[in-house]
Structure 1
């Protein structure tokens, strides 16, 4: 028997291949101690009415080895048979670092001699983290074409003796990242997107804990894919939960020509003994490895102030007020290019509108620099308006199905980004804008799903589109390394690990109302790092909860991520601008803690509390949601919120007070419900 262990900061992942070599199986996954004794997932007893493979904790199940239980790979050949029986032929491993226990990466290779198919299971556990990256590569070494009908990236097996407590993120436009949970004693639960984009409905994220201990050790899986995807959890009779993660299969299947190879997206599993919030911290630490270290600037975005009515003089008026509020970068949103008078026109014709900018975009940028602001620009390069010059010049570039009208959504069509000539045109358009003008911030939007089938001869539209999207984003980082890229898709429809690795910030939702946004951000942070979370202060009333909150409350919600302002500043008073300047000044002092700190949720009742912790400083946000009645005038006792993540043996300064860490951990800081404000932002600093 061959066995390998990958060891992370606090967790380990152990895999074995039995002597017969027909599959790889999980030995253990969890805190380091789980690899010190017998396996927690190996089945005990004799199977009845089933092949052995159907009860084993297989790492990657193939149709032909497993039959009745979930499989990750189904392949057929020209004879129509969809069975494979690959056998283990070898392993390659590399150490995580000199002297490290276990290995940092692992490849297990299996070959089916009848199909001449080679299957490689890939593993990587980045040093110092508690995540394991998994993916597969499939190689056709024969002379016949093969068809992949199901092609998941990985399956993760989790011990859940008492059933599975599953957490997931659901929603819709303007209500993304709503936390949801289900207890599954047995059976199957699936979240997915068939929209050709990550989608508003579900996030490619699932977490699992034992149903009898939902806040105990928690495992989670995410998928790095920005097209159609699927995550499923299956709870079986042996007390194990199997999470399958991968691209959504198409009705046509994927064709694999002789000599060709196919590589799946990466699925990322994480585990924490500190429950669901500890799992979030494990994912945050992983996602921070993608960050380029560019400074997070406070942005102003003009959309809510102007919509499509973009005029240089009005934009400059807003910019002067933005400077008074402490803003660092001014972003001109939709409406800056020729023909863009509403959402039904102009997309694809990315030339600066001379009526909007009489002295050119360069002249406007020079005016911004004079008042002390950098410049950012909104684009939606994958879409095209039916009446645009681009649509007339290149009708073959428009995504559709032969013989049928392309599907119009939000008054726009899509370019077929799976075509290399379309990808080249998008790159050249963006490169020209970024090379011609001093642009330091690019907001890339995508305001509709991809639903047309495209050229059926291509067979893998989803793969072609996402591959070219990633190539363009990767090239932006290489050729324009100082440009901050924000990913947006009608709000939060493009939030996933694939985008997190290629942009600097993500827009979680078009809903910026304070109480709605607080819930959205709570869900976002359960799977995604705060350095990725773009958040604006606006004047918006709530879509779901329209109760008034103070301007302080709105700023504190936005300061919990990458702070921006999107309000119509031309309507703000001097007093409001002074409030904004005070909060922006504080944010600029604490933004490194917000971006890099360990995240702890302190309270989720009438008061919502959030704490970011770094070695010498901590930032605490407290929001009074107004969900309880105001106290009366009779004597009562003060309410306090205990903190987390501090050192009990050290002393800390909180405002004008000094307290031992032990006191702050056990007793805490004042609840804003006992004060005149509805929110607080407090800095906690180590004194020794």
Structure 2
């Protein structure tokens, strides 16, 4: 990354001229300008490489009426005081003073991108009267089109500050028409519903104060340029400029979009303090969560691929560890866990080709139902009379890895742990605690609670041959206080819990690197980049019903990569859409990410088991393409036929998962033809051969006419593997034999 002339040679620069810095990623650029007045930084341009060369698309007239210049500017980060009317990103003050920050530019640090290393930009502003220094931080992520933003705040005075708002950053999206937003909304068992929102004027805000990102919204937002989209949100494949924001924070959060005067849309994101403010003592510093900014010229579908590449970078070297085909016992046995029934399930799972057996809730003492046991993490001797170690050995003798479910943040009131340490739970002195799912929540911000969780997990993983750990969290904090620790408004309990949670996950990575970790919070309640950087897979939803799950996964794949998406084949009927679907449909749906099985396979017929084993084998043959390939979302579950396309690096194989979701066409009673899915991103001149049928297609045919599927009542899903052969050059007119 070469700094523009204005950022080079400070000795020859006109001190009254604006300063400019351009951060570049693989295919995009992001230019920040410091106006000559030096009071704030502005976004000059953001988009494909080269967009920075020309008049700034976000240049504004500086004519303001009933607004201050800061309120109208495409400012990168501004405090209340300088920006009083249209939404400040930082609200701070000190006791005995009016709230507000009036800072001046202090210094800049700029490092261009080099081979394999990020480019960085740091802009420091200071308010000497209040005693606050703010450093706006930018960092590119090599190998991606993502720019990370965060802010570092330091109390430089002698008086404690109160931070009532402390966003990570703000970005003004350069639009030419109405903003078309897309968020991921829902509820428990209906997470990740892709939801369009038009924002011609006003404010749109999503967030959570449940101590986790929550089931109602994911900390993710996309903004499309409405001038180039069709329909209420524009189809996912519409090639239009699309901008994305995601926040890496597993606690309380918000993302706010404002359609501002002048036609721009400004998006802010940050964490939300539990008590409404955060104290910052003299000499102390605080860093906000990372806000990831992404751009694609290819619509929501293209933006999804940007996020997928970024999450593969987050996985690091663990990306290339195969995610095993798992069997989880919960749907089959619930809390009724004993060695004999689990071994029968494990034997059946091994015959299907599963590689991992996970014992879910119910394996520990006092856990006959959901009223007890949490916190007392010791195997129930009555359920495993020969010892838990012997049981694990029997499972492994079947050729299966072994996994275990835990909920380390939770405690049952009837547990021994709660009797010994009632002070470890969140509570407010003199107030009755609310039970959610018959349990309380441990204050993971306490160091002694962290040590208990670390010791518990180390003991389990050190005593038994466990290769997989499913971390669940089934209740939000309610009476969130810490008796004896001082006034609640002086405690940053949300940030403390997040720090404890991340500390434990970091410890698992370091102390038990061979253990695969799955993240879960009553389904998809805690899925964001900080968690994804420390886990191997996540559980998008407790709803595994076929058509419901298809819609959940469709939204999930807009924000997150297939290699982190755990999905099971179960017997569960639809919760929201009870239409029956075949075993094939359920397998192809689960194979779109990381395949698992959660049905009571003891009741399956020999024919069902044989079919299931064949699907597992087909999945294993293309698992690397499904997890690491470039993804295109083909239609949506609202269409009669939809699919997901995965292209291997280099284009040698293309895998398509396809589903029939709607009514059939009545053939052969009336004239009909196969449904078709138009593939995308292929070489029009190359030949692609279906490895199962031998049918050959030109890339142009698959792009224009589409891949055919002759759906029927019994044939409602398919996995197609296409092998590529290079084309033969020009094609003169010819007669087809």
TM-score higher than 0.5: yes
8 Å CA contact 1:161–1:238 kept in 2: the answer is no
Query: How do 1:179-190 residues align onto structure 2 when only pairs under 5 Å count?
Result: 179-190=194-205
From 606, 609, 615, the equivalent of 1:574 is 606
Matched, 1:62 2:79: yes
Structure 1 residue aligned with 2:337: 310
Matched, 1:286 2:310: yes
| More divergent stretch after superposition (373-382 vs 587-596) | 587-596
From 686, 691, 697, the equivalent of 1:650 is 686
Partner Cα distance (2:721, 2:689) in 1: 8
Shift of 1:687: 2.3
Partner Cα distance (2:631, 2:31) in 1: 28
Matched, 1:661 2:705: no
Matched residues, number: 686
The 1:637–1:536 alpha-carbon spacing in structure 2 relative to 1, beyond 3 Å, is: closer
Shift of 1:2: 1.4
From 279, 289, 293, the equivalent of 1:269 is 293
Shift of 1:668: 2.2
The 1:628–1:99 alpha-carbon spacing in structure 2 relative to 1, beyond 3 Å, is: closer
The 1:448–1:351 alpha-carbon spacing in structure 2 relative to 1, beyond 3 Å, is: same
Shift of 1:157: 0.7
| More divergent stretch after superposition (209-218 vs 578-587) | 209-218
Query: How do 1:382-421 residues align onto structure 2 when only pairs under 5 Å count?
Result: 382-421=409-448
Matched, 1:462 2:494: yes
Structure 2 residue aligned with 1:353: 380
Partner Cα distance (1:355, 1:568) in 2: 23
Partner Cα distance (1:449, 1:672) in 2: 47
Matched, 1:472 2:504: yes
Query: How do 1:96-495 residues align onto structure 2 when only pairs under 5 Å count?
Result: 96-98=113-115, 104-214=119-229, 215=238, 216-291=240-315, 292=318, 293-455=320-482, 456=488, 458-495=490-527
Task: Please state whether the residue corresponding to 2:44 is helix, strand or coil.
Answer: strand
Partner Cα distance (2:667, 2:634) in 1: 22
Matched, 1:531 2:563: yes
8 Å CA contact 2:78–2:89 kept in 1: the answer is yes
Structure 2 residue aligned with 1:34: 51
Matched, 1:686 2:724: yes
8 Å CA contact 1:135–1:154 kept in 2: the answer is yes
Partner Cα distance (1:552, 1:496) in 2: 31
Query: How do 1:607-626 residues align onto structure 2 when only pairs under 5 Å count?
Result: 607-614=641-648, 615=650, 616-626=652-662
Q: Deviations over 1:90-144 (max 9, x none)?
A: 11122221499xx711111111111221100010111231111000010011111
Partner Cα distance (1:675, 1:650) in 2: 34
8 Å CA contact 1:253–1:459 kept in 2: the answer is no
| More divergent stretch after superposition (255-264 vs 45-54) | 45-54
8 Å CA contact 1:160–1:240 kept in 2: the answer is yes
From 496, 500, 525, the equivalent of 2:532 is 500
Shift of 1:9: 1.4
From 557, 565, 574, the equivalent of 1:542 is 574
Gaps in structure 1 of 5+ consecutive residues: none
Shift of 1:36: 1.4
Partner Cα distance (1:273, 1:496) in 2: 24
Task: Please state whether the residue corresponding to 2:555 is helix, strand or coil.
Answer: helix
Shift of 1:428: 0.7
Matched, 1:72 2:127: no
Structure 1 residue aligned with 2:3: none
Shift of 1:182: 1.1
Shift of 1:356: 0.9
Task: Please state whether the residue corresponding to 2:389 is helix, strand or coil.
Answer: helix
Q: Deviations over 1:313-342 (max 9, x none)?
A: 110011110011100000000000001010
Q: Deviations over 1:43-69 (max 9, x none)?
A: 125112222111110000111111111
Structure 1 residue aligned with 2:669: 633
Task: Please state whether the residue corresponding to 1:47 is helix, strand or coil.
Answer: coil
Q: Deviations over 1:392-441 (max 9, x none)?
A: 00011011112212221110001111101001110110011111111110
Partner Cα distance (2:175, 2:54) in 1: 18
Structure 1 residue aligned with 2:15: none
Gaps in structure 2 of 5+ consecutive residues: 1-17, 230-237, 483-487, 727-737
Structure 2 residue aligned with 1:593: 625
